[in-house]
Amino acid sequence: MFDCGELEKLNQDQDALISSLLQWGYTSYGEVFSSWMHLCAVRVFTESILRYGLPTSFLSVVLSPSVKSEKKVHSILEELRNSSNSTYWKTEDEGGMGGFAVYQK
């Protein structure tokens, strides 16, 4: 009814399959991550043009200012946008545009 030899063979097959799957995952991760970041960049580009009306020659960047310089960075970006009452940094509840909200603790 219960064969120890067959169980041992099944365990070895399972270990071999797990090892093969892990090796495939490690080698494929970089390619998948690169493709995912490319799709994110394409989405930023298309949404910026179609939703927000930016020209096709814009530059998208990610900024991570320190807590001390966050307000200074926001004011500089508002000046670059030529708008003293810019609503891009407000949350949707405050009347800003969706997707440009600032996370506040």
Kindly state the tokens that stand for 43: 């989405």
pLDDT tens-digit series, residues 61-100:
888 889 899 889 888 887 776 654 445 545 555 544 444 4
Find out whether 89 and 96 touch, Cβ atoms under 8 Å: yes
Kindly state the tokens that stand for 15: 């270990």
- The reported pTM is 0.48
Looking at residue 31, its amino acid is E
Looking at residue 10, its amino acid is L
Residue 83's pLDDT is what?
A: 53
CA–centroid distance for 44 within its chain: 10
The most confident of the ranges 22-26, 47-51, 56-60, 95-99 is 22-26
Who's near 8: CB < 8 A, 6+ residues apart?
Answer: none
pLDDT tens-digit series, residues 3-31:
888 999 999 999 999 999 999 999 999 99
